[in-house]
Structure 1
């Protein structure tokens, strides 16, 4: 339960937009540091269980998820600004739960890597290559992988690189995760672009402006992910004599 609370708080505190209850239900099941990064058996059957898991630290509001939508949905946010201040303070580091300290770069790294792991698994699941990738102890599960609705897909596709930009630019884990996604040979790369192409822009007149899909190196450069650029094939090193 403690691990679930920590996963949720990383996201709720640093997400680029409010998260819906349905998204939180899947977020609980993502641990980018685990061999099985997204475990469908850990998805909350009742999304409102997050209020039990995180107790009084979070609350629910009704909000829109995108600027282009007027429809509102139930979202989970921190109960008060002071909650985030406490989770980032030296007081919690000196408390009996120092692992709940949330650093800016470490939390953004966690979210970025979680988004990428989620997209990688989504692509494998869509391609039918992920059927046997589950815990051996889960012969009886409450939610089977075929039943997963991947409600976090749009969010992960839209925001993974924004969180990567806010992480430590030299972090090797970010470089490793991002280079797996930014790989034209992996279905996740095309899955990501089908969900969100950063070069597709809606202008003020409602016209969609499209550019040719860039290469992985192009996107890594566009996002300013220097550590990723260094590990991608096709990079060019410039040396000044």
Structure 2
């Protein structure tokens, strides 16, 4: 099908073990690049898109990617989009809206969605999908029997069992599965340890009836000496932003948040022993990536049932778990600074370093989500205090080393030779990343809210571009200057406009005053496609023919007029 020149085909799997593959942005980028790769003559919009974002100074937004995707779709007669395991997506609402928009935007788009049955998904897609097919339990039962038979013939341990024992296993598992492959997988794992016909029959006769009971049994079998370590592993695997490698997971076991040394007494003799202590709950791939064995493991651990169980309950929750991971990452970065500047060897000696530097703030954003961390106030305070140590430029190399290893202002690029003169102040980064608690601490200790630096030039412009309204208010209340010039978008108001950040734009507009808006703000708003902002500016009497100049970047969309900017971005409605 995909070999036909007039037919486009793109497939995307929402992988619960990979944070980016659960997002709307991840979906859009993947299908856009897949379809673009199938065209010999790619549309001009795609080439302009690549030219604009190739430097890495600016990250494309969902609107940017969607506009390019629709441009690519117009060059096909028919397009098939396959989205697998939608129920595992963490941004379901956005994806469901996207599907509706795509189907309405082009009659050539055909969408196939697979998912566990969900009322929300059924309702959301009811008006756009023409066929709903439920998997037949009879068909699944045949597939399960085939799966069991293949496992018994290929597994090194099970294939050595006598034929009559294998027949008993096949019959028992096929009849007890009730459509659950994962349940069968867990029972096979238990049967691998059975060394006699009697133990096989005892295991078959005592099999839990449900997947939840199966997980209860797996947790109950964990050696008490390793329960704490297994819990640590499960927390990391449930919320890691990207798949963790085996050495990284092993390192987690010797890392205690808030400590100044690694707990070497808790280090496994061999990293591969992670599989032993987490048997039945985790899976290690051929490329040494460690993942939860199945999406249902995370659902089970987060369930209210586990929360009410006596200790150790192994219950995990989003806010405290992300706080624990973020605190661990920051602790690890502080530990690294004890050894001086990082080198390539540092990432071998401290295997969790790459992840900690690149993703501590991803976990912090969730952990410090407004209004959600009062129940865990003590742990949150400890984490914030620890992070302020990392952000204190005067207390050694920790802050500079973090940015050498992963600079969020530069697409998390690594530059181990980066000098202090090339690094913005910590308040800039907290404003850019949207970490209000940290920004408030830095402002309260007297950090300069108007300090210059970073690709956006100031903390206010960075917060405006990212639409972090609480931080914008914090900075303004403490003397941030709205009219200051410089940075990627010249002013904070422009930054809010160019990214279509309506809430941020209103706050800044109220502070600056409508009479002091420059024509470049209209150009920025036109580029974003934000009709509400454009109308606001036109009602204010802004010159539609204003010709902009961007002294810092002559290829910037601000170096033109509003019509050119809107056309460049494909915003025909503007």
- Normalising to structure 2: TM-score of the pair? 0.33
Q: Where does residue 75 of structure 1 map in the other structure?
A: 289
User: Which residue of 153, 177, 189 corresponds with 2:386?
Assistant: 177
Q: Distance in 2 between matches of 1:41 and 1:149?
A: 17
Q: Which structure has greater helix proportion?
A: 2
User: Which residue of 103, 120, 125 corresponds with 2:334?
Assistant: 120
Structure 1: stretches of 5+ with no match in the other structure:
63-72, 128-145, 204-210
Most deviating of 163-172 and 19-28: 163-172
User: Which residue of 76, 82, 101 corresponds with 2:315?
Assistant: 101
Q: 1:174: Cα distance to partner?
A: 3.1
Q: Where does residue 272 of structure 2 map in the other structure?
A: 48
Aligned Cα RMSD in Å?
2.6
Q: Distance in 1 between matches of 2:327 and 2:448?
A: 22
Q: Deviations over 1:35-56 (max 9, x none)?
A: 4463234332311111222221
**1:199 equivalent in alignment to 2:423:** no
Q: Does 1 or 2 have the higher relative contact order (CA < 8 Å, sep 6+)?
A: 1
User: Which residue of 31, 37, 61 corresponds with 2:285?
Assistant: 61
**1:12 equivalent in alignment to 2:12:** no
Q: Does the CA-based 8 Å contact 2:409-2:429 persist in structure 1? A: no
Q: Does the CA-based 8 Å contact 2:257-2:331 persist in structure 1? A: yes
Describe how 1:120-199 pairs up with structure 2 within 5 A. Answer: 120-126=334-340, 149-169=349-369, 171-185=380-394, 186-199=396-409
Counterparts in 2 of 1:235 and 1:113: CA distance versus 1, 3 Å: farther
Q: Does the CA-based 8 Å contact 1:112-1:164 persist in structure 2? A: yes
Q: Deviations over 1:141-168 (max 9, x none)?
A: xxxxx9x810111111000001101113
Structure 2: stretches of 5+ with no match in the other structure:
1-225, 374-379, 414-420, 450-473, 479-574
Q: Does the CA-based 8 Å contact 2:406-2:412 persist in structure 1? A: no
Q: Does the CA-based 8 Å contact 2:260-2:335 persist in structure 1? A: no
Q: Give the secondary structure class of the aligned counterpart of 2:288.
A: strand
Q: Does the CA-based 8 Å contact 1:32-1:38 persist in structure 2? A: no
User: Which residue of 223, 231, 234 corresponds with 2:441?
Assistant: 231
Q: Aligned residue pairs: how many? A: 203
Q: Does the CA-based 8 Å contact 1:108-1:166 persist in structure 2? A: yes
Q: 1:94: Cα distance to partner?
A: 2.4
Q: Rg bigger for which structure?
A: 2
Q: Distance in 2 between matches of 1:99 and 1:214?
A: 44
